[in-house]
Structure 1
């Protein structure tokens, strides 16, 4: 480990990650049994080699205990495939006209002439979009429960001096289970009504309720158990990303002006926005990609080693932990020229068309890449465009940044305050 101990890592994760990559190479050892993949090649290798580096089941919303038993791994795999029918790029493209009005509403309702803590209204707007995308006309019923899932997550990730085994029913875990049960209990009658009426819906839930020629009809519990996590994911991680994006609109007014110029060509009625309009926002998408490169919301991913294997110069024993670090992989000069510079243009070729300058791991890759990538990019691009179209953003005056960088459960701008003024 670079100059210091695990305590140094706890104090300054980003700084130690940078020093580790610079001083120790593409893969380095944080402590016995814990390794950091810091460069693009090892990061991609770990993410793609799922047999050697399996992804542990998410501990955030484990299957609920029921007398009928939890869904089998095979049923959970089928549920994942069913979700993907509603989250693939073509499905998102067909519903841009539902996403755009809510991003425009966020921009319209943003207070002007005052310093506003920006993440709460961003989170609310993205939650409305995400929950509506998943559950359609039933979203108003389920939205309050989705916010309680977010509160449960916040309780679980608060720093603690004790690390309890996962089987210990701490107050935070009991609170999480109560919110998970409440969400499931609210969703169950929705599933019953849709199946009994035959009106399954065109949203993601409707896709999950449709029988597949490969595995037939999903059991109800397989549908219910897989939805709390994806519901929270539709807005929690994108909200972190949106904080960094809006901050960069404030820090780089010329770039914000280019986004505003593109956005001015969007339909006056946001509901008329199509995937063609979204595709035309090339610079806006480049700006979003560049912010996600510099500040990936999931800046550190964890994998357990399933069997003894080789990674770079290390022989890694089964049971060890590998931390994949997109933050340092994205700042590798072998992948990106002037990697610490904010340059949205790097994502465009000379004609202004999309380009791929280097590895991009903000949504992961391989068999466990983020299933909501297309939805997240659509939400973030349209939110960025509609905000810049209506407002100039600026940081409040004063010494130092008006936010705190947090790294414990993702890279975020805690307490970020911005001021919006209307564009002429």
Structure 2
């Protein structure tokens, strides 16, 4: 069995200069799997990417949590307790649970659209991040969200500092300034959340948010220990708005570049209730074109465009040998441009996700939220947030890019695919629309 082909002229130096271009060239010239450097392989097409993500035993996820477990008074949670905590979180994050709480998500999306400063160029990502953080933290913690939101913002800042590109890759045990800052912010968030957990348990009013679901006793494993409840909440808190912010930047840019599509979203959004709190899962389901547009943008610009897996033992992938100890980079960005899965893959065509006459019945692989055992647990929440944000924004505004020959943003790829520095202008569609408070 042969090893994957080496990309001519491919190297880490070329990769670091333009990751997207090298990834596209590797997929075009080498096919399903190619070799970047000895021991570093790239799964480039849909079939190869899905195989890696589904074969978690052969290609496990690297154990490098952004917010590692902190040792509390009763010790760090056991692996079994972490599994149970994940199952408890999923009770509040699965699609049915999200659909039941759409009326709590929609007001934040409407506030974002209503508060957008009109008729001037505005940097997009900070506004989006704040709005999605409010929605995500509220979904996790309900009435306790306002007190926890500032700590969530600091967690995000700690994450940004920690993943910032550096010339040196320090061993994990070295307490660099960025890691010490991360630890302080993680401890501050946990210290703010701990009394919330204790108050809810002592009062018996556990709540129906995600935290409340984690506090509910289970017939399978009983009541989760306090440390198991607190353990992964920093990570999931940041996750509710970090990748969705990158996605929203691309979505808003497409609303500006494709006014016909934006008009169609606006027409569909007119069916939403005047009071956003009255939005239901049925309203969300009826935003069919808006959801298709969101999925198409995520196909073209997956926020997590590159995923890392390890091969602990020698195995095979797409009829190639993968050596033990190798790194496998899974590339949804090129998988989504596999013409065998998506006809005319570089074109922006939201209709490909609809089952209307003339649309393909099988739209192809979609890996923006991953797949398999480590697929994104917040996928349903992210889709609801992004769909409602898109609908409400198009309902209120026409978006446009600043004039000039050069793009008003730069594409960054180090941690995710983002429109860094993106600036857009919003012009009100209906000057007489009542303000949402």
The one of 238, 241, 253 aligned to 1:235: 241
Task: Spell out the pairing of 1:102-141 with structure 2 (5 A cutoff).
Answer: 102-141=108-147
Task: Spell out the pairing of 1:292-331 with structure 2 (5 A cutoff).
Answer: 292-331=298-337
| Aligned counterpart, 2:420 | 414
Corresponding residue SS for 2:309: strand
CA distance in 2, matches of 1:144, 1:318: 44
Corresponding residue SS for 1:260: helix
CA distance in 2, matches of 1:104, 1:354: 32
CA distance in 1, matches of 2:148, 2:249: 25
| Aligned counterpart, 2:168 | 162
Change in CA separation of 1:143 and 1:281 when aligned onto 2, cut-off 3 Å: same
Mapped contact 1:55–1:304 kept (Cα < 8 A):
yes
CA distance in 1, matches of 2:89, 2:273: 30
Change in CA separation of 1:353 and 1:125 when aligned onto 2, cut-off 3 Å: farther
Mapped contact 1:2–1:24 kept (Cα < 8 A):
no
| Aligned counterpart, 2:49 | 43
What's the TM-score once normalised by structure 1's chain length?
0.98
Change in CA separation of 1:84 and 1:352 when aligned onto 2, cut-off 3 Å: farther
| Aligned counterpart, 1:282 | 288
Task: Spell out the pairing of 1:73-88 with structure 2 (5 A cutoff).
Answer: 73-88=79-94
| Aligned counterpart, 1:246 | 252
Change in CA separation of 1:416 and 1:204 when aligned onto 2, cut-off 3 Å: same
CA distance in 2, matches of 1:161, 1:263: 47
Alpha-carbon shift at residue 351 of structure 1 (Å): 5.2
CA distance in 2, matches of 1:75, 1:250: 46
Change in CA separation of 1:363 and 1:140 when aligned onto 2, cut-off 3 Å: same
Mapped contact 1:290–1:342 kept (Cα < 8 A):
yes
Alpha-carbon shift at residue 318 of structure 1 (Å): 2.2
2:5 aligned with 1:17: no
Per mean C-alpha deviation after superposition, the further-off stretch among 386-395 and 350-359 is 350-359
| Aligned counterpart, 2:433 | none
- Cα deviation 1:191-224 (Å, max 9, x = unaligned): 0000000000010000000011111110100110
CA distance in 1, matches of 2:358, 2:107: 27
| Aligned counterpart, 1:152 | 158
CA distance in 2, matches of 1:355, 1:89: 23
Alpha-carbon shift at residue 252 of structure 1 (Å): 0.2
- Cα deviation 1:120-164 (Å, max 9, x = unaligned): 010000000000000010000100000000000110111111110
The one of 47, 64, 67 aligned to 2:70: 64
2:281 aligned with 1:272: no
Alpha-carbon shift at residue 67 of structure 1 (Å): 5.6
Provide structure 1 residue ranges, at least 5 long, that are not aligned to the other structure.
none
- Cα deviation 1:290-337 (Å, max 9, x = unaligned): 000000000000001122111123211222110000000000100011
2:344 aligned with 1:338: yes
Mapped contact 1:52–1:307 kept (Cα < 8 A):
yes
Mapped contact 2:311–2:328 kept (Cα < 8 A):
yes
CA distance in 2, matches of 1:378, 1:237: 14
Superposition RMSD in Å? 1.2
Alpha-carbon shift at residue 57 of structure 1 (Å): 2.7
Corresponding residue SS for 2:178: helix
Mapped contact 1:103–1:383 kept (Cα < 8 A):
yes
| Aligned counterpart, 1:348 | 354
Alpha-carbon shift at residue 6 of structure 1 (Å): 1.4
Mapped contact 2:58–2:315 kept (Cα < 8 A):
yes
The one of 27, 30, 39 aligned to 2:33: 27
| Aligned counterpart, 2:366 | 360
Change in CA separation of 1:66 and 1:195 when aligned onto 2, cut-off 3 Å: closer
CA distance in 2, matches of 1:377, 1:411: 17
